[in-house]
Structure 1
Amino acid sequence: MKKTSLSALAFTLALVMVLAGCSSKQNTIVVGSKNFTENIVLGEMVAQLIENQTDLKVERKPNLGATDITLKAITSGDIDMYLEYDGTVYSSYLKIQDPVTDPPAVFDMVNEKLQKEMKLKLTKPLGFNNTFTIAMPSEIAKANNLVTYSDLAKVSDQFVFGADPEFMNREPDGWNSLKEKYGFNFKKEITLDSGLRYKSIQANEMQVTNAFATDGQLKTFNMTVLKDDLNFFPPYNAAPIVRMETLEKYPELEGVLNQLAGLLTDADMQELNYLVDDKKETEEKVAKDFLTSKGLLK
């Protein structure tokens, strides 16, 4: 065979390999998640539903990190979707600084702006509101008759407060603005990894922490969630956030994702988190069992 023929053959084979590599990513949806139990469980739930009800393949990228990392991942196209919260879109994506005056209207408002400004879309909300909150051991709350944030503010100088770095630094719905709103004046403020918060509470190194309303560990450690009586926090309704380019390419996706609409209560989500964090079940099993119980896996 002539040298030119060998070169042509080599080029053809290389081209075929490149095209094969490209085609292997065809019909594949990349599902990511943030770096906490709930988001990983929900990402797995979405991944299993897509695999079960479509011909699409799913590539999983769980535990990516906090909001700034997942935002970069979805806007760059590294992932096609993950689970987000409308209050986080309000503050961290769209950078809206105005206080929320009409919580029920937040989801539709941010979704409209999200589609126009960032070419991303929230599909229908899952039903629960995983709002930020403040929590403390129930025995301490009961002993001091603490029910609301305002109650806590009056005696905050008796306690140590600790929170994860994202909550301490986020605006406008993070620690600095919350402290100013209520006039908190804690004995000490600690910044620590989110996975260490409840251990530090248990060791009495701190007595008050930020939490999500659906944290399974609230149940594990018998924590009381105080009431945000001045309505500082916006709602945090969970929903899949998806690249509009992906929805246009695979129009069947939205209908599949919307089967999860309204399916989870706050109590449901707290129980799923509890099964992973306390009972040590895998996120895959917890997601599958829930979908199966709702008749969504064929």
Structure 2
Amino acid sequence: MRTRVLTIGLLLVLAVVFTGCGGMTGTKDTKTIKIGSQTFSEPKILAEMMKLLIEKNLGYKVEHVTNLSASTIVHQAMLNKEVDISTRYTGTEMTGPLGLEQPIFDRKQAFDFVQAEFGKRFNQTVFAPYGFENTYALTVRGDVAQKYGLTKVSDLAPYAANMKLGTDTSFLDREADGYQALTKLYGFTFGKTYPMEIGLVYKAVKDEEVDTVIAYSTDARIRSFDLKVLADDKNFFPPYEAVIIARNDTLEQFAGVKEELAKLSGIIDTDTMTELNYLVDEKKMAPEKVALDFLTKKGLIK
């Protein structure tokens, strides 16, 4: 009787051990990989690319966690292990989570710094860039640019006090590379600022509720809404190369994920990303469809 009890007990222990080991190696029936994205189209498209690569090529379960309001929210979600993978931008990470008071303006040095520090501080892997940079751009309505002869940011100085600025919430809140630092460098402030989700910014400029917009350089709506990009003549904006960041414990737990994510490095240039954004924002295609078409064309999914 004692022998039988011991045997049953041993079998139960082994079952628990093997179940635990299965969880740690990331079997297809255990944990769901969560990919986070912000509110605008670009990170949503890229998140869908990652989701498709992992699901179709590896068979893991993937959830796309959408509409995270700011890069700081995405970062905290990854620290809290609520999100495993996300697309981020080197300029934002330098002055945000990594706390640099003065960003690094050399593109390679900026990437190397972000990659090394995320590994040390957060135990996260920063992959080689997708191949494009999505920097902030100060833009004005076409009619306003023509009226005042605006071609560069410095040209706004005599007029900014009577202008209304629309911007995403993140830019208005950040200290080192956000609104306060920009206006300090250029020596002027806008009469009113309106923080909002980026999609609403373009509606506001279309309705002439704002004169000036902090836009994203790969956003196809710059063209669609007749916005004039003003030259950053004092070199305020640091490099904003788009990169994948993943938690190391996720990469260790799920075999093959690191290799699949690496396939996206170096294959999306600025023109391509702008076109993909255009398909979603202007042609109203679903990010999932745009991602699928791109990966299929590239031969990256099975």
TM-score by length of 1: 0.87
218-227 or 58-67, larger mean C-alpha shift? 58-67
CA drift at 1:213 = 0.6
Q: CA deviation at 1:152?
A: 2.1
CA distance in 2, matches of 1:95, 1:273: 30
Instruction: Tell me how far 1:25 sits from its aligned partner.
Output: 5.5
Deviations 1:128-171 (A, max 9, x none): 10111111122322343222111223432342222222211112
Matched position secondary structure for 1:105: helix
Matched, 1:115 2:101: no
Matches within 5 A, 1:8-157: 26=30, 28-157=32-161
Give the conservation status (yes or no) of the 8 Å contact 1:219–1:274: no
Shift of 1:175: 0.4
What letter matches 1:239 in structure 2? V
Counting matched residue pairs gives 284
Q: How big is the shift at 1:251?
A: 4.7
Question: Which residue type is aligned with residue 247 of structure 2?
Answer: R
> 1:235 deviation in Å?
0.9
Q: Distance in 1 between matches of 2:192 and 2:185?
A: 18
2:235 corresponds to: 231
TM-score, length-scaled by structure 2: 0.86
CA distance in 2, matches of 1:153, 1:291: 45
Separation (CA, whole Å) in 2 of partners of 1:186 and 1:59: 40
Q: Which runs of 4+ in 1 moved over 6 A?
A: none
Q: 1:167 is paired with a residue of what secondary structure? A: helix
2:260 corresponds to 1:277: no
Contact 2:39 2:197 in 1 (8 A): no
Hey, what does 2:3 align to over in structure 1?
A: none
Change (3 A) 1:183 1:190: same
2:214 and 2:147 map into 1 onto residues whose CA distance is 20
Residue 231 of structure 1 and its aligned partner are, at CA, apart by: 1.2
Asked whether the equivalents of residues 91 and 173 of structure 1 are also in contact (C-alpha less than 8 Å), the reply is yes
How far the C-alpha of 1:27 sits from its partner, in A, is 5.9
* Paired-residue identity, %: 38
Distance 1:111 1:123 in 2: 8
Q: SS at 2:96's partner residue?
A: helix
Aligned amino acid, residue 123 of structure 2: K
One of 227, 236, 245 as aligned partner of 1:241 = 245
Conservation of the 8 A alpha-carbon contact between 2:251 and 2:258 = yes
User: Which position in structure 1 is the counterpart of 2:265?
Assistant: 261
In structure 1, list runs of 5 or more residues that go unmatched.
Answer: 1-11
- Whether the aligned pair in 1 keeps the contact of 2:33 and 2:61 (CA below 8 Å) is yes
In 2: Cα distance, 1:279 partner to 1:108 partner: 37
CA distance in 1, matches of 2:190, 2:88: 31
Alpha-carbon distance in 1 for matches of 2:76, 2:161 = 39
Residue type at the aligned position of 1:187: G
C-alpha distance in structure 1 between counterparts of 2:152 and 2:104, whole Å: 19
Paired with 1:147 and 1:75, the residues of 2 have a C-alpha distance of: 42
